[in-house]
């Protein structure tokens, strides 16, 4: 299930302590920070790991994102989108620094029932491996979008907010990214 962002204006789910009430001036209450960790840590880590392909770096980026949220998150209304955006920027920054960054691109199911044989599953596994490599060659924001929408299962509106796109752009970039993968696979075979 997709978790809902905690909004400042909503009644807190966890009752604030007396300390929280007195600290409400400019510091993020600890209970709100912890709730964000419990609700969004996996999504943030997975995005970082999918972009960086390195568990250690993904862990660092996740910690940076949450530390930043703790320090600057008091006025953040949508913690999930905010954290994903910060983690993505940090991951792309690391890729850029290490020369692994893919530049921005110039603009240039039907359901099948499962009674499949092991060969089919093997082929799917192979295809997934091939796709992982090809996803890394996609330009931004296609790559982040594909990871968030297709792999992580985030909805289009959330992806749009994280990437600063509108929903039409999300659709266009998504189809463009998938087409590119398909054509590359066709070219390889």
Partner 1 sequence: MTDRDLSEEWARSQLEAWADGSLPGESRERMAAALAADPKLRAAAERAVAVQRALRASAPARMPAGLRRRLLAIPAGSSNVWRGLALPVAASVAAAVAAAVWLRPEPPPQEDPRVAAVAQDLELAMRYLQQSARITENEVTNALGSGLRDAVDATRAAVGQETDETGG
Q: Least distance from C-beta 172 to partner 1, angstroms?
A: 10
SS3 155: coil
Task: Give the nearer residue to partner 1 in terms of CB position, either 102 or 134.
Answer: 134
User: How many angstroms separate the CA atoms of 132 and 41, rounded?
Assistant: 22
Upstream peptide bond of 141 is cis (omega within 30 degrees of 0) = yes
- Which position among 71, 98, 166, 168 is part of the footprint of partner 1 (CB under 8 A)? 71
Q: CA–CA separation, 76 vs 9, rounded Å?
A: 11
Cα–Cα distance between 89 and 66 in angstroms, integer? 13
Who's near 155: CB < 8 A, 6+ residues apart?
A: 2, 149
Q: Which is nearer to partner 1, 104 or 179 (CB)?
A: 179
Q: In the window 102-131, what residues touch partner 1 (CB under 8 A)?
A: 109-110, 112, 124, 127-128, 131
Contact indicator for 65, 90 with CB cutoff of 8 Å: yes
Site for partner 1 in 149-188 (CB under 8 A): 150-153, 171, 174-175, 178-179, 181-182, 185-186
Calculate Rg over the CA atoms of the chain.
19
Please give the residues from 40 up to 59 whose contact with partner 1 meets the rule CB under 8 A: 41-42, 45-46, 49-50, 55, 58-59
98 part of the interface to partner 1, by CB under 8 A: no
Among residues 83, 85, 84, 96, the alpha carbon closest in space to that of 52 is found at 96
Binding residues for partner 1 (CB under 8 A): 1, 13-15, 17, 19-20, 22-23, 25-27, 29-31, 33-35, 37-39, 41-42, 45-46, 49-50, 55, 58-59, 62-63, 66-67, 70-71, 109-110, 112, 124, 127-128, 131-132, 135, 146, 150-153, 171, 174-175, 178-179, 181-182, 185-186
């Amino acid at each position: 299930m997709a978790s809902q962002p905690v909004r400042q204006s909503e009644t807190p789910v966890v009752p604030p302590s007396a300390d929280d009430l007195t600290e409400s001036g400019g510091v993020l209450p600890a209970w709100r920070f912890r709730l964000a960790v419990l609700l969004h840590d996996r999504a943030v880590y997975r995005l970082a790991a999918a972009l960086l392909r390195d568990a250690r770096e993904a862990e660092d980026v996740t910690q940076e994102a949450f530390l930043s949220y703790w320090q600057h998150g008091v006025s953040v209304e949508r913690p999930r989108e905010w954290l994903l955006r910060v983690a993505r920027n940090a991951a792309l920054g690391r890729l850029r620094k290490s020369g692994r960054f893919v530049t921005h691109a110039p603009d240039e199911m039907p359901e099948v029932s499962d009674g499949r044989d092991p060969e089919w599953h093997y082929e799917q596994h192979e295809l997934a491996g091939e796709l992982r490599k090809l996803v890394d060659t996609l330009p931004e924001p296609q790559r982040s979008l594909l990871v968030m929408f297709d792999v992580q299962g985030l909805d289009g509106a959330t992806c749009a907010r994280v990437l600063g796109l509108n929903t039409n752009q999300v659709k266009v970039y998504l189809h463009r990214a998938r087409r590119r993968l398909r054509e590359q696979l066709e070219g390889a075979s």
